[in-house]
Amino acid sequence: MNQSLSNSIEASVPDSPDGTNRSIRFTVFTPTYNRSSMLHRVYESLCAQTVRNFEWLIVDDGSTDDTAEKVKEWIEEGGFPIRYIKQPNQGKHIAFNTGVENASGELFLTADSDDRFKPQALERFEFHWCSIPEGQREHFVGATCLCENEQGALVGDLFPSDVIDSDSAEIRYRYKANGEKWGFQRTEVLKNHPFPPVDKKKGYTVVPEDIVWLSIATRFKTRFFNERLRIFHIYDEGESLTRTPLPIELIASGLLDLQRVVLNTQWKYVRVSPFEFVMVGLRYARFAMHAKVGTRQALASLTQKNARRLVLTLWPFALLIRQRDQWLGKI
């Protein structure tokens, strides 16, 4: 059963039909697992924000450390609305779904448990969101910025212009703007695009985040802008929801599904990113083998004729990589 703490009734009671609270622009969401020694970075970043129209929603995915005690202290300080939900350990994608279901804000911003971000981060996000004409915002899911490391160096690639309206697939495949990015999405859109549940017959399966983001990209634009608002910590140690190693057989199905989504929904970018799609096809065949999906079934799941041809051509090479994976015991 979920346990929750809150220092704000207003933040926990939605006041509009879509389940959001209009007095709160942002739900800053943090999924966490045994990261109490680093969680203070998010708290300190929120304390320093130049705007106050946000809540902090923490979903604790079964921590066994003192996370709950630290959060309780911050709630008692009363600087801004904080809500804490603890659930049994189920993985980051389930924690994300829980966060979306309980969000009070119109906009949903994920801040990982070891992140820092600049004092003007929420103010700049709000500026760029409000720069989109109100009548056009229904066609947008959110806005995304750049990241830098602790030394102030850019992490990842710049966007092709200082402000560009595009989607996550086009930004990656056409414009080659890869690497760490940070952004928010409309809560309403996320509620309509939850992460798929784990297939209990297969055991625990990792669900790659891009499965959701690529689905959203087929329907909504994102405003991308070249400002560095997140400070990315690369070399932190300790447990995390995204870094826990898992056996091959428990992650192959999710990785297979991701390659299928790319081949079925983003094939139009094959001419501008041929090498990347060769790699996607290779991974599709490789993960199909790990997931014990036969060649015929794997090909039948692809809607693009040329994608099926690509995967069939690459199948023998994928077999060699799969044998190496089995020898190493990891992907």
How many other β-carbons are positioned within 10 Å of the β-carbon of residue 170?
A: 19
CATH number of this structure's domain 3-232: 3.90.550.10
Pairing relationship of beta strands 140-149 and 116-117 according to DSSP bridges: unpaired
Does the pLDDT at position 192 exceed 70?
A: yes
315 CB-near residues (< 8 Å, 6+ apart): 285, 295
**Exposed / middle / buried, residue 65 (Cβ in 10 Å: 0-12, 13-18, 19+):** middle
pLDDT at 92: 87
Q: 4-8, 63-67, 227-231 — which is least confidently predicted?
A: 4-8
The tens digit of pLDDT for each residue in 276-285 reads 999 999 999 9
The tens digit of pLDDT for each residue in 240-252 reads 555 555 667 678 8
pLDDT at 89: 87
Nearest to 85 by CA among 6, 150, 17, 175: 6
The tens digit of pLDDT for each residue in 14-62 reads 444 455 555 799 999 999 999 999 999 999 999 999 999 999 999 999 9
Specify the higher pLDDT residue, 83 or 114: 83
pLDDT at 2: 54
- Would you state the torsion angle of the CA atoms of residues 183, 224, 48, 230, taken in this order, to the nearest 10 degrees? 70
Q: Where are the domains of the chain?
A: 3-232, 248-326
pLDDT at 233: 82
| Rounded mean pLDDT, 218-233 | 96
Hey, what are 54's tokens? 């946000």
Contact predicate 222/128, CB 8 Å: no
The tens digit of pLDDT for each residue in 267-319 reads 999 999 999 999 999 999 999 999 999 999 999 999 999 999 999 999 999 99
